Amino acid sequence: MKHATWRCVGSALLWFPALAAADTIEEIVVTADYRERALSELPTSATVLDADEIDALAVQHFEELTAVVPNLNWSGDGNRARYLQIRGVGELEQYEGAPNPSVGFLIDDIDFSGIGTVGTLFDIERVEVLRGPQGSRYGANALAGLVYLRSTRPTPEANGRVEVGAGSDDLWSAGVAFGGAVAGDDRVLYRVSAQRYVSNGFRDNPWLGRDDTNGRDETTARARLIIEPGGGFKADLAFLYADVDNGYDAFALDNSLTVLSDKPGQDAQRSAGASASLRWATAGGLRITSLTSFADSDIHFGFDADWGNPDSWAPVVYDYVTDSRRERRTVSQELRIEGDNDAGFDWLAGLYVSQLDESLATLNVGDYYDPFYDFADSLEDRLDSSYDATNVAVFGQVVWPVSDASELTFGLRFERRQADYADSTGLAPTDDETMVGGEIAWSHDFAGDVSGYVSLSRGYKAGGFNLGQVPAGRRDFDAEYLWNLESGVHVLWPDAALSLDLAVFYNRRDDQQVRTSFQIDPGDPSSFVFFTDNAARGESRGLEAALRWLPGDAWELYLSLGLLDAEFAEFETPEVDLTGRDQAHAPHYTFAAGAAWQHPAGWFARLDVSGKDRFYFDVSHDERSQAYWLASAQAGYAGEDWTVRLWGRNLFDEYYAVRGFYFGNEPPDFPPTLYTRAGDPRQLGITIERRF
């Protein structure tokens, strides 16, 4: 690793000599596991952010939280982050054919893996990120890990909040949430919320005379209903409606924030979903859980493929547009039963069934005319496709208390997937496969406030097929398996007001799926051929740490650090040899550090700094981003039932790239050029909240 990486390690260790007792830190509970349990009991690396932390960071979308999560990155192939990478494992761009995500993304148990544009954060109670394969719990969609968002739980006491915000980039937002007991009955609780968020999207388009072609218009409504009539029964129902109507005009020919497109695109997603968690505790000590979810999403993604206008290319005519419309319907049912026996074993067994149906219509159109060579070409390429997949899985877990301080966990999952695809070209492949994942973990409580674990887990990701024109023999690709060896320690010293979570890991990816591309026609920016191939083997190793310390009643300090060395151990094809090279979107380090001050009278202030090392943009070229760090701050006043917060993000207006392409896009010679998409520049704003 680079010297800068180890300087980050040194900086983290320098925190320890100054620790002193001051306040207390509460235990963190993880809900994305089979059982709700303390983070100190979880044999995996995880980050949990509660509502107070989310509000304190003054963020709107999960994209803005990624900076504080170790070894989590995202690809800016869209207006909002929906392609995530955990420990260097994950997708980079919009998929064709079969949805096959590596990172699971759930909101109230509703599956939005690969389409997380709807990950807004108003009235979200907690965000959990589990790193490493979740093979026995979540199966094929969680090879790299899982992101889990949970909306605010209703309480018997009637309460609510109203929040409004404004800021630069013509930002404004308004949200309301309220809930309590239905008709005064504490056995039936409800909560509803709604928010709208609008901003221009940080781009200026002088050709169209607009500054909102990359704008954001995000509306979210949520509801939860909890029913506990007694007799050991509990129902938790959740509902979501999201209408994210964002523009997509993010790339500029000179990599600036001034775009020249004459046909700006759209990155929109309208989703409706619901989940029902039903739990019974029987008189015999058994616990039965039924978890049902449904989601219906309409997704529109399009862009100006040449990124220019007639004046940009004159006297050459060069005008291309790409547009895709996707409809996805998912329904899933999980049924599990758990209990214990006289020997002290905790056991769990279950069945999972899901059905996914998706249709996709893609249209590429364009015209090209070069007067110097009197050459003309035109394109009108439409592809209509349908995909459906049925997944059936059986799974189980056993927790064996080896001693009063130690326990062994065994988990296993068998999953069968049957998939069918058909499109307007006559391509109609099918795919049937059985995948196996699981884990074995040893956990030990060393001293009541210090615990540790060692685990070996295996995750999997389904195989599939490539569409369109692909190299000979590359139509199909195999399932991928990831082995994860991990060891960690959880420290919680309430009297010292200190918590520390530390994990080290080694990953081995067998038959690693790699998305590569090449451009068939240098004069047609829509002629990229993307296809997935299997690398022989990939390896990664690294460290994740999270430290929190309360040195006094008024102060809180935190540090999160991720170190990563992810490379292709073996990968050679006729097009490329990447053996020994770093994987894409896998920076050697990520970090976040901050300090918060809260005066007893209500005044507060906060400073946060985050950053990451340079990383390769893709596997099809060797261009890399630049390392960067960003600073954010806020200050305000919190009264008994209201808060005013002044905030600023990217205070020093740092330019940083979140996606990069290397290809020819400028006629008539089309020289290969690195084009990068910039992250959000500086933004200042105010948020006012009234609680009741």
For 442-486, give the DSSP string.
EEEESSSSEEEEEEEEEEEE--EE--SS--TT-SEE--EEEEEEE
Tell me, what's the pLDDT at 643?
97
Q: Strand 450-461 relative to strand 145-151: parallel, antiparallel, unpaired? A: unpaired
- Looking at residue 572, its amino acid is E
CB proximity list for 185: less than 8 A, separation 6 or greater:
none
Q: For the chain, list residues with pLDDT below 50.
A: 1-22
Q: How far apart are the two ends of the chain, measured CA to CA in Å?
A: 51
Q: For 572-609, what is each residue's pLDDT tens digit?
A: 777 678 899 999 999 999 999 999 999 999 999 999 99
CATH code where residue 275 lies: 2.40.170.20
Q: SS3 of 62, please?
A: helix
Radius of gyration of the chain (CA): 25
Residue ranges of E strands in 520-623: 528-552, 555-570, 589-598, 603-612
Task: Please tell me the predicted confidence (pLDDT) of residue 525.
Answer: 59
Give the per-residue pLDDT at 522. 61
Q: What angle do CA 13, 19, 23 make, to 5 degrees?
A: 135
The whole-angstrom separation of Cα 190 and Cα 156 is: 9
Determine whether 415 is exposed, middle or buried from the number of CB atoms within 10 Å of its CB (0-12, 13-18, 19+). Answer: buried
321: number of Cβ within 10 Å = 19
Count the neighbouring beta carbons within 10 Å of the beta carbon of residue 338.
Answer: 19
- Residue 609 falls in which region: left (phi positive, over 0), alpha (psi -120 to 50) or beta: beta
- Sign of the dihedral defined by the CA atoms of residues 109, 111, 116, 117, in that order: negative
Instruction: Match 């009264």 to its residue by tokens.
Output: 639
**pLDDT at res. 531:** 77
Contact residues for 13 (Cβ-Cβ < 8 A; gap 6+): none
Residues pairing with 221 in the sheet: 194, 241
- For the chain, how many structural domains are there in total? 1
Two tokens at 159?
A: 């309460």
Domain that holds residue 320: 3-691
Q: Using the Cα atoms of residue 461, residue 462, residue 466 and residue 467 in order, give the sign of their dihedral.
A: negative
What pLDDT score does 102 carry? 93
Quick one: pLDDT at residue 521? 61
